[in-house]
Amino acid sequence: MKKRVLTGINTTGTLHIGNYVGAIRPAIQDSKNPDVQSFFFMADLHALIKCQDPDRIERSRMQIAATWLAAGLDPERVVFYRQSDIPEIPLLNWMLTCCTSKGQMNRAHAYKAATDAAVAAGKDPDADVSMGLFCYPILMAADILMFNANEVPVGHDQIQHLEMARDVATRFNNLYAKPDESFFVLPQATGGSAIEVLPGLDGRKMSKSYNNVIPLFEGGRKALDEAISRIVTDSRLPGEPKDPDSTSLTVIYDAFATEEESAAFRQELRDGLGWGEAKKRLADKIDAEIGPMRQRYEDLMAHPEQIEAILQQGAARARVYATDLIAKLRYAVGLRSFQKLETASATKAQKKKAPATLFKQYRESDGLFYFKLTHEGSELLVSDGLESGRDAGQWVGRLKKDPASLAEAPVHFAEGVAADNVVALLKSLAED
């Protein structure tokens, strides 16, 4: 069974080189592991906690989605979706909220930092605390537990929240799961990159709040050159020996170079390489990696409908998992359907009727094999072309046995058909 890894992407502001090195690049590399099932989501509900500017939220969501896609995230390999497109997440959030103590939320670092800042300013401790900020760790727990992620790459500031997610999962399991079952796995925190925090132009952590960032795609090569020209260095002239560790320039160079290239660059600085030439080499080194991605980013930003289509496809795949889990949780907590069960005789009579839902396998003129699913004469989905009839038959058998595997199946849906409705239909067939 593949290991599930879930990565959340905040959607406020635009991304910079520090985000790329510390999070984007390592996450995309990890997503190519065939033994890993990766979930990437745009945390746009979280963004509402700190930002009430609708235009900024809209722009940021588009920029950040385009950035990840341009940097190489493959939406066919991973499940890439917006948090707000999965209505089961707020429902799970509420279920978890109802079994989480206020005392635990009182100990959250973000809440304590907000109350400490208010007190220091002479205000009421909760003057600047919204319920979104206070309950942020529970929504984060819902994000993780909805897809039963085994691992979550987080920075040091988020480790406490992951521990809270484990606590919430354990409490819910203890309250509602039977002795021999468990609704949630307990996620583990993992690091994202060997260079988790990249220094900025002034040597401090690269952060927009410090105005010391190097832009990733915005502004093109010109903006990249201008930012790098502002990296703080000493006043030693070309020809004078320089200390490579006296500036963040070399650390940033290390993030894009091999060990051999970094060693040679540092030696050249010791031998008198001028700071101006060193900055040009850094700009060239960064642009060699991100320059080819920039055109893809600009194309996506010019065609937001392409981004929307990718995210909607990802949401459909994500909801296959979400609807399956939330149905179990609704039953577990008592939010059950009032629908009357069919009598045995009615069920027996129904089974004698011709099946309303059918899988059909066939071969097309292209020589490939296909299968499709119909219900009461209407086509619901059609597979991609497969190399053999055996492949098509194996997929049909798998979907009948495990409807949740639809998220991985090589199929496309008919217009207006929702993936979760197909899964529900397949489940009803399996029960029959």
Q: Residue 18 annotated as binding? A: yes
Mean pLDDT of 3-31: 90
Mean pLDDT of 154-159: 82
Q: Picking from 27-31, 48-52, 53-57, 363-367, which range would have the lowest pLDDT averaged per residue?
A: 363-367
64-123, pLDDT tens digit by residue? 999 999 999 999 999 999 999 999 999 999 999 999 999 999 999 999 999 999 999 999
Q: Residue 48 annotated as binding? A: no
Q: Residue 401 carries which side chain, given as an amino acid letter?
A: K
Q: Residue 193 annotated as binding? A: no
Mean pLDDT of 155-163: 87
366-420, pLDDT tens digit by residue? 888 899 999 877 889 999 999 888 898 899 989 988 888 898 999 988 888 888 8
Nearest to 12 by CA among 207, 161, 193, 144: 207
Q: Residue 109 annotated as binding? A: no
182-233, pLDDT tens digit by residue? 999 999 998 755 555 789 999 999 988 888 999 999 999 999 999 999 999 9
**pLDDT above 80: residue 11:** yes
- The rounded distance, in Å, linking the Cα atoms of 191 and 404 is 30
Q: Residue 207 annotated as binding? A: yes
Alpha helices in 334-358 (DSSP H): 344-352
Question: Which pLDDT value is given to residue 344?
Answer: 45
Q: Residue 140 annotated as binding? A: no
Mean pLDDT of 226-247: 95
Question: Which pLDDT value is given to residue 196?
Answer: 59
Give how far the C-alpha of residue 293 lies from the chain's centroid of Cα atoms, to the nearest Å.
20
Does residue 151 sit in helix, strand or coil?
strand
With beta carbons less than 8 A apart as the criterion, state whether 217 and 44 touch.
no
Which 8-state DSSP code applies to residue 204? S
Question: pTM, whole model, 2 decimals?
Answer: 0.76
Tokens 């004469």, residue located: 377
Q: Residue 123 annotated as binding? A: no
Beta partners for 381?
373, 413
Q: How confident is the model at residue 169 (pLDDT cuts 50, 70, 90)?
A: very high
Q: What angle do CA 149, 421, 175 make, to 5 degrees?
A: 45
**pLDDT above 50: residue 21:** yes
Nearest to 219 by CA among 294, 292, 164: 294
Q: Residue 157 annotated as binding? A: yes
Both tokens of 371, joined, read 């299968």
Q: Residue 198 annotated as binding? A: yes
Q: Residue 143 annotated as binding? A: yes
Q: Picking from 9-23, 193-207, 295-309, which range would have the lowest pLDDT averaged per residue?
A: 193-207
Q: Residue 206 annotated as binding? A: yes
Nearest to 109 by CA among 73, 146, 145, 157: 157
Q: Residue 329 annotated as binding? A: no
Helix H or strand E segment including 162: helix 159-176
Tokens 């925190």, residue located: 189
337-357, pLDDT tens digit by residue? 886 555 444 555 554 454 667
Which residue ranges form the domains of the chain, and what is each CATH number? Answer: 3-198+303-333 (3.40.50.620), 208-294 (1.10.240.10), 357-431 (3.30.160.160)
Nearest to 411 by CA among 385, 377, 390, 393: 385
Question: Which pLDDT value is given to residue 275?
Answer: 96
